[in-house]
Amino acid sequence: MKVLIAGGSGFIGSHLCDYFLGKGDEVVCVDSLITGSKKNIEHLKDNQKFKFIKHDISEPLDLEIDAVLHFASPASPVYYLKYPFDTLKAGSYATHNLLDLAKKNNALFLLASTSEVYGDPLEHPQNESYWGNVSSTGPRSVYDEAKRYAEAVTMAYHNYHGLKTRIVRIFNTYGERMMPDDGRAMPNFINQALKHQDITVYGDGSQTRSFCYVSDLVRGIYQLLISDESMPVNLGNPNEMTLKDLAFYIKDIVGSEGKFVYQDLPEDDPKLRCPNITRAQNILDWTPVVGIEAGLKKTIDYFKYL
């Protein structure tokens, strides 16, 4: 296949570039570089099957392509609050443009959605039939609602035009090439631990997350793309842990001497976040295989040399 990966120089996008090239496919990486980094794809510059195009996908793009993967959006609170309108455009204009491109080429289309569509959930763990508890006016709404709109327009193209679409709802993912300053718990904890600084925990640390290593996620995304499933599918690791436990775990691995410092919980920050992956297991025969200890050690080793 010839695959377009919008947001392909970002954390997950760059790993997808590697994965598809490893399958023998051609990859066109399109990125505005607002939050992506060319360092993430530097190792691919001499690969004859790889092409990079600097472009804001909220403006149309014309290519001959077999599959379109839409990963073009700021994804951490620090960056979607810094770039609110770019985030909203990534969910709206960019999604329309990429769907039109897929329609023109009769190509597969895969949308990177997010567990944030569930908001601060009243159902736990979250399965795909849950409609969510989301504020349309809160500080996180520029991201949450952009993704919810992107899902809606993707389903409209599928139902009205018969486009072959896929929607993946991505839960917390970690690994090499995460941005160290993206403001999320894991890179914050790792950076502070490596520098032997005090470790900042928001709230009392009892809020939960479930962390999926990036190689597991990318494998699931590929399996979803080549499936026939058009409805949203959760991908994430169902092994839930509190953020305070994660902080202790990272502190222990690193051998940090920092103390824990507690700050107020950010507005609309979800208290619980854990995927029900039954549909992924049944439809895709997918389950994560990388344990938190192995994944954390690889991630921490990467952060040591930034």
Phi–psi pair at 195, nearest 5 degrees: -90, 5
- Residue 283 clears pLDDT 80, i.e. is over it: yes
Domain assignment of residue 264, yes or no: no
- Residue 26 clears pLDDT 90, i.e. is over it: yes
Domain assignment of residue 232, yes or no: yes
Give the CATH number of the domain where residue 42 resides.
3.40.50.720
Domain assignment of residue 294, yes or no: no
Domain assignment of residue 297, yes or no: no
- Residue 149 clears pLDDT 90, i.e. is over it: yes
Residues making up the chain, counted from first to last: 306
Domain assignment of residue 203, yes or no: no
Helix or strand holding residue 186 (H, E): helix 185-194
Domain assignment of residue 252, yes or no: no
pTM of the model: 0.96
Q: Are strands 108-114 and 199-202 parallel, antiparallel or unpaired?
A: unpaired
pLDDT tens across 97-142, in order? Answer: 999 999 999 999 999 999 999 999 999 999 999 999 999 999 899 9
Nearest alpha-carbon partner for 146 in 68, 234, 102, 86: 86
Burial class (CB in 10 A: 0-12, 13-18, 19+), 224: buried
Domain assignment of residue 246, yes or no: no
Which residue of the set 79, 80, 118, 143 is catalytic? 143
Number of folded domains that form the chain: 1
Domain assignment of residue 124, yes or no: yes
249 as an active site residue: the answer is no
Q: Which domain holds residue 281?
A: 2-174+212-238+274-289
Predicted pLDDT of residue 101: 98
